[in-house]
């Protein structure tokens, strides 16, 4: 059982270095610092971060650099320090280097940070350590992280413009109802003009929206902030992923991205020599959506019981092509390359779906904005005509 310790230590150059390390006790943590050539200045208990310490894209790039450095036969602790670079992954990989320099396996050090490294990535490094090929394992782990990062960017890119248009529409509506309409209503009522039914309804709706608009906007803002914060925690990511699967247009895209990640992880672990039951169990841990994760775990248990993997995946909520790829792989005895091919297939499918989603969502958002502006202009003109009629 390891505990987190926050430390400040002096490097041989005299510079002060701060970080977090995992150890069995405070004495062990101090010993780890000393073996790494650091002089402890302060050492105390720390808390495991609820959010990832480094950005996903930076972790993927660092793992890719680690693969290149270890392939060039650089010492592992030195390779980890260099791989972290100056990005957000730098402190995380520096602490991994510290753990490795003290004698801990890299896979065990990665497992201390579940917010940054999935169980599948740690398992890949463990397999690489056993086979003496850390470079290949790091490259496979980098591929997993890159798939997740690409999937997030693709989904965000598809929804960015529609979200921008929707926010612009809400802001325009807020300005119109909050400032323009009340001033115009004062002028209209001052003339003593009789309000038409359309104008009266417009004013009543505007008054109601002003009464609840502020709290509603605050509630929407709080919900958005909560979603952003939840995206940095494991439980939050699961909830958001489960919600994404249920959305009409986003659901198929999220499902393809999940299948891409799952098939890629499974193929990488099988290629690294992991047995199918273990690889299937660990690959399931790469899935955030609770329904798909439970289905993948059930498939892993089915394989342990001797049933066909492809049959266990069928009807589990994955795209139908995934069990088809698995079935061909089982028939030919080439499950690992077939899973890697499936991952590429779902990446292409998700990219195509993302383009189609953007093509549909952008005009739809523009149409909504146009309808709001058109309705507002029509209602304002109706009110102007009421004033004109009163003047006559």
As a dihedral over the C-alpha atoms of residue 70, residue 75, residue 79, residue 81, rounded to 10 degrees, the angle is 170
Is the domain of 186 the same as that of 228? yes
Q: Residue 294, exposed/middle/buried by CB under 10 A (0-12, 13-18, 19+)?
A: middle
Residue 206 above 70 pLDDT? yes
pLDDT tens digits, 181-205: 777 777 666 766 666 677 777 777 7
Q: How far apart are CA 93 and CA 60, in angstroms?
A: 12
Give the number of C-alpha atoms closer than 13 A to the C-alpha of residue 316, restricted to the C-beta side: 27
What CATH number is given to the structural domain containing 101? 1.20.81
pLDDT reported for residue 125: 87
What percent of the chain lies above the pLDDT cut of 70? 80
Is the domain of 38 the same as that of 77? no
pLDDT reported for residue 278: 85
Would you say residue 245 lies in a domain?
no
pLDDT reported for residue 224: 63
Is the domain of 264 the same as that of 345? yes
Q: How many domains, in total, are found in the chain?
A: 4
Separation in Å, CA 308 to CA 221, 277, 318, 323: 48, 11, 16, 10
pLDDT reported for residue 106: 92
Q: Average model confidence (pLDDT) for the chain?
A: 80
Choose one of 93, 119, 145: the last residue of a domain: 145
CB-based contacts of 150: which residues, under 8 Å, 6+ apart?
347
pLDDT reported for residue 93: 93
Is the domain of 140 the same as that of 159? no
Residue 250 above 90 pLDDT? no
Is the domain of 300 the same as that of 338? yes
pLDDT reported for residue 240: 61
pLDDT reported for residue 200: 74
Would you say residue 34 lies in a domain?
yes
Is the domain of 119 the same as that of 177? no
CB-based contacts of 385: which residues, under 8 Å, 6+ apart?
196
Is the domain of 133 the same as that of 229? no
Would you say residue 50 lies in a domain?
no
What CATH number is given to the structural domain containing 334? 1.20.81.30
Task: Average the pLDDT over each of 55-64, 91-100, 116-125 and give the range with the smallest value.
Answer: 116-125
The answer to whether 133 and 120 are in contact (CB under 8 A) is: no
Task: Average the pLDDT over each of 47-56, 99-108, 256-265 and give the range with the smallest value.
Answer: 47-56
Would you say residue 51 lies in a domain?
no
Is the domain of 116 the same as that of 39? no
Q: How far apart are CA 173 and CA 206, in angstroms?
A: 10
Which has more confidence, 368 or 28?
A: 28
Average confidence (pLDDT) over 37-58: 81
pLDDT reported for residue 357: 73
Residue 233 above 60 pLDDT? no
Residue 273 above 80 pLDDT? no
149: confidence class by pLDDT, cuts 50, 70, 90: confident
Would you say residue 308 lies in a domain?
yes
Query: What is the residue range of 292's domain?
Result: 250-355
Is the domain of 343 the same as that of 214? no
Would you say residue 12 lies in a domain?
yes
Is the domain of 235 the same as that of 376? yes
pLDDT reported for residue 58: 92
User: DSSP assignment of 262-280, as one string?
Assistant: HHHHHHHHHHTT--HHHHH
User: Sign of dihedral through CA atoms 255, 257, 260, 266?
Assistant: negative
Is the domain of 64 the same as that of 136? yes
Is the domain of 71 the same as that of 210? no
Average confidence (pLDDT) over 212-225: 70
Choose one of 99, 119, 145: the last residue of a domain: 145
Residue 216 above 80 pLDDT? no
Residue 68 above 90 pLDDT? yes
pLDDT reported for residue 173: 72
Average confidence (pLDDT) over 263-285: 83
User: Sign of dihedral through CA atoms 260, 265, 271, 277?
Assistant: negative
Would you say residue 326 lies in a domain?
yes
Q: How far apart are CA 198 and CA 323, in angstroms?
A: 58
Would you say residue 244 lies in a domain?
no
Ranges 1-5, 234-238, 303-307, 363-367, most confident: 303-307
pLDDT tens digits, 325-380: 999 999 998 998 999 899 889 988 887 887 777 777 667 767 776 776 677 667 66
pLDDT reported for residue 329: 92
pLDDT reported for residue 306: 87
pLDDT reported for residue 69: 95
């Amino acid at each position: 059982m390891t505990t987190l310790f926050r430390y400040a230590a002096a490097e041989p150059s005299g510079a002060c270095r701060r970080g977090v390390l995992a150890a069995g006790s405070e004495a062990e943590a101090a010993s780890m610092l000393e073996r790494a050539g650091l002089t402890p200045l302060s050492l105390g208990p720390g808390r495991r971060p609820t959010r990832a310490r480094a950005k996903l894209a930076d972790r993927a790039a660092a793992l890719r650099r680690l693969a290149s450095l270890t392939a060039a036969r650089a010492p592992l602790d030195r390779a980890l320090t260099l791989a972290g670079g100056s990005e957000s992954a730098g402190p995380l990989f520096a602490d991994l280097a510290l753990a490795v320099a003290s004698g801990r396996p890299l896979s065990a050090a990665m497992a201390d940070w579940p917010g940054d490294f999935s169980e599948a990535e740690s398992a890949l490094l463990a397999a690489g350590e056993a086979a003496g090929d850390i470079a290949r394992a790091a490259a496979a782990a980098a591929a997993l992280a890159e798939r997740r990062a690409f999937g997030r960017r693709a989904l965000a890119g598809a929804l960015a413009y529609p979200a921008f248009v929707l926010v612009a529409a809400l802001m325009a509506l807020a300005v119109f109802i909050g400032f323009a309409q009340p001033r115009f209503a004062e002028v209209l009522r001052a003339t003593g003009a009789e309000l038409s039914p359309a104008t009266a309804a417009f004013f009543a709706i505007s008054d109601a929206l002003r009464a609840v608009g502020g709290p509603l906007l605050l509630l929407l803002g709080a919900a958005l902030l909560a979603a952003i914060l939840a995206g940095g925690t494991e439980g939050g990511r699961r909830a958001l992923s489960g919600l994404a699967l249920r959305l009409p247009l986003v659901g198929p895209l999220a499902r393809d991205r999940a299948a891409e990640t799952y098939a890629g992880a499974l193929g990488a672990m099988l290629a690294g020599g992991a047995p199918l039951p273990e690889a299937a169990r660990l690959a399931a841990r790469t899935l955030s959506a609770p329904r798909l994760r439970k289905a993948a775990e059930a498939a892993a248990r089915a394989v342990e019981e001797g049933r066909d993997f492809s049959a266990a995946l069928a009807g589990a909520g994955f795209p139908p092509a995934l069990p088809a790829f698995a079935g061909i792989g089982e028939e030919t005895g080439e499950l690992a390359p077939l899973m890697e091919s499936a991952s590429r297939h779902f990446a292409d499918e998700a990219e195509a779906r993302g383009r189609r989603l953007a093509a549909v969502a952008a005009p739809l958002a523009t149409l909504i904005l146009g309808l709001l502006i058109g309705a507002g202009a029509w209602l304002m003109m109706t009110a102007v005509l009421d004033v004109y009629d009163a003047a006559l």
